[in-house]
Copies of this chain bind each other. A is one copy, B any other.
Amino acid sequence: MTRFALTLEFDGTPFFGLQRQSHGPSVQQSVEDALHRITGERVVMHSAGRTDAGVHALGMRSHVDIDKPFDPFRLAAALNAQLRPDPVAVTHCEVVPDDWHARFSCTGRRYLYRILNRRPPLTLQRGHVWHVAQPLHADAMHRAAQSLVGRHDFTTFRSVHCQAADPVKSLDELRVERVGEEIHIHAAARSFLHHQVRSMVGCLKLVGAGTWPETRIASALAARDRNALGLNAPPHGLYFVEATYPDPREEPR
């Protein structure tokens, strides 16, 4: 048996999420089915994150165990050929130690949230950004975001379906910047609660629009109550950017 680490890029639009679902297509099913056609083996793919329906990935990290020997480069090429026409690409593939786990070994996850902030509707960017027509104040959003950085009980920003045992998480970075017509929100942490990024972005948007004062982010956090929350930002503006692992010798590039 060999363990292969995969780096995946995908357009989340046609999927019901990364994880296998009984009620619709998933990235996991696409990759596992492609692997079955290549190897004849039924494998289970494990991934660093569990992205929702419509969420995209630029650099998801996953792993699979395969009995037959394969050259990693050829396995990636075969997977990319078999994945067509699904919008999933294996951008890197390499052999990792048997105790390397895409989810449990992961010590850092990074997301990007893209808002297209302009009055005219979307054309080329449809399904890939959240369109907000009212002008947003990126600096105010960034200042308010800083009250979320650090170790906190994020109960306010947690889905009712969240399965995490502990709502206390350390948020390493929450940076808001304007990039032309877009506002980018960069979020980094060891791990996130279910819907945490979209919940935080939904509240920051209210600050940016002037609906909420900047201080309300801190009070929403302190409330530890989902009723203190604004609406979640929609999934199609969210990108899983990268997963990081502690030991450089074991880190796939």
Q: Please pick, from B11, B91, B119, B122, the residue contacting A120 in the complex, using a CB distance under 8 A.
A: B91
Are B80 and A124 in contact, CB atoms less than 8 angstroms apart? no
Question: Complex Cα distance A91/B121, Å?
Answer: 9
Across the interface, do B10 and A121 meet the contact criterion of CB distance under 8 Å?
A: no
Interface assignment of A217: CB less than 8 Å from any CB of chain B? no
**In contact, A121 and B84 (Cβ under 8 angstroms):** yes
**Residues of chain B contacted by A87 (CB below 8 angstroms):** 122-124, 126
Please indicate the chain B residues that have their CB under 8 angstroms from the CB of A89 in the complex.
120-123
Partner of A128, one of B9, B90, B124: B124
Instruction: Determine if A77 is an interface residue (Cβ-Cβ < 8 Å).
Output: yes
Q: Which of A56, A76, A121, A128 has the most chain B CB atoms inside 10 A of its CB?
A: A121
Q: Give Cα A76–Cα B11 distance, bound, in whole angstroms.
A: 31
Cβ of A123 and Cβ of B90 under 8 Å apart?
A: no
Q: Is the CB of B77 within 8 A of A124?
A: no
> Does A88 belong to the interface (CB within 8 Å)?
yes
Residues of A98-128 whose CB lies within 8 A of B = 118-124, 126, 128
Residues of chain B contacted by A121 (CB below 8 angstroms): 80, 83-84, 89
Nearest chain B CB to A228's CB is how many angstroms away? 34
Q: A83-B121, A91-B118 are known contacts; what are 4 more A-B pairs with Cβ within 8 Å?
A: A10-B124, A87-B126, A89-B122, A90-B120
Measured CB to CB, the residues of A under 8 A from B are 9-11, 56, 76-77, 80, 83-84, 87-91, 118-124, 126, 128
